[in-house]
Amino acid sequence: MKPAHVAEQFQQAVERGDWETCNRLLADDFTFSGPTPRPLDKRACISMHKALWAGFPNIKFHFQVISESGEVVKGSVQITGTHTGNLIPPMQGKFVSIPPTGKNISLPSEQIEYTVRGSQLVNMKVAASPEASWPGIFKQLGVDNPFRT
């Protein structure tokens, strides 16, 4: 399977909430880095995507392949969705639960790079910006202080 196809399958599985496929597509030694304070392992990455999907059941990543060279796939994602579910950011229990607001989000495009080994992702790096990822979500939902006090 071509590396770009593996990356596309993962993004599509997250959009469907197909956690079994996500688990199969991520290698046991998988790492995710970029918009999180520390790199995430496979379990934590899936938990983060489950939290996004729970808050935004119609989430779309609009994944676009820019280039594919050997095992490395470079692309872009642009997250959109409607906040119709309870959003509980999975970052070490520091964040409040955000009840559904019904607001639509449309985050700026982010560059993403996947490294594929065989038919599994071993690394995902996102070049996050302050207007994208979790900070962008909080801002667009109008959540001034998402931290527990």
Cβ-count burial of 70 within 10 angstroms (0-12 exposed, 13-18 middle, 19+ buried)? exposed
Q: What is the pTM of this model?
A: 0.90
Q: Give one DSSP letter per residue of 78-138, joined into a string.
A: --EEE--S-B---STT-B--B-----EEEPPPEEEEEEEETTEEEEEEEE--TTSHHHHHH
Question: How does DSSP classify residue 38?
Answer: S
Supply the pLDDT for residue 149. Answer: 44
- Architecture in CATH for domain 3-141: Roll (3.10)
Q: What angle do CA 147, 61, 142 make, to 5 degrees?
A: 30
Domain ranges across the chain: 3-141
Tens place of pLDDT per residue across the chain (149 aa): 899 999 999 999 999 999 999 999 999 999 999 877 789 999 999 999 999 999 999 999 999 999 999 999 999 999 999 999 999 877 655 667 889 999 999 999 999 999 999 999 999 999 978 788 888 898 899 987 666 54
pLDDT of residue 93: 56
